[in-house]
Amino acid sequence: MIYLRKHPGRSLEIHLVDKAPTDKFNYDNFGLGDDTSEPSNERYYRNANNLPWALEITDSWQWPSERSPLIMAYPAFQTFVESDGEQQSNWFEPQLAIDNYLF
């Protein structure tokens, strides 16, 4: 696993899943850490388990507590990710959360 030793500045971008980076992005940044992006397959900003690098949640929601994995706080998130967003699109709703893992 390779990690950045210093901040790369503007050449590093994080986007929502499968959204291509801009022309200012340095493609050498792909593959760092847990990233498994494959630009030739239009796969961007996912890890080996398809987990995204960024989320867009427009409703209010409760954050997982510090060091609690998102999947522990919101178990339906796993189905959402594995189905490529086709199932459990409401994974972040309070009634689907496990209170012990929330902030």
DSSP 91: T
Confidence of residue 51 (pLDDT cuts 50, 70, 90): confident
Instruction: Render pLDDT for 79-101 as a digit per residue (tens, 0 to 9).
Output: 998 888 899 999 999 999 999 99
CA dihedral 85, 87, 88, 89 (to 10 degrees): 40
Read off the pTM. 0.69
DSSP 69: -
pLDDT at residue number 94 = 93
Q: What is the mean pLDDT of the chain?
A: 89
pLDDT at residue number 2 = 54
Q: How far is CA 94 from the centre of its chain?
A: 20
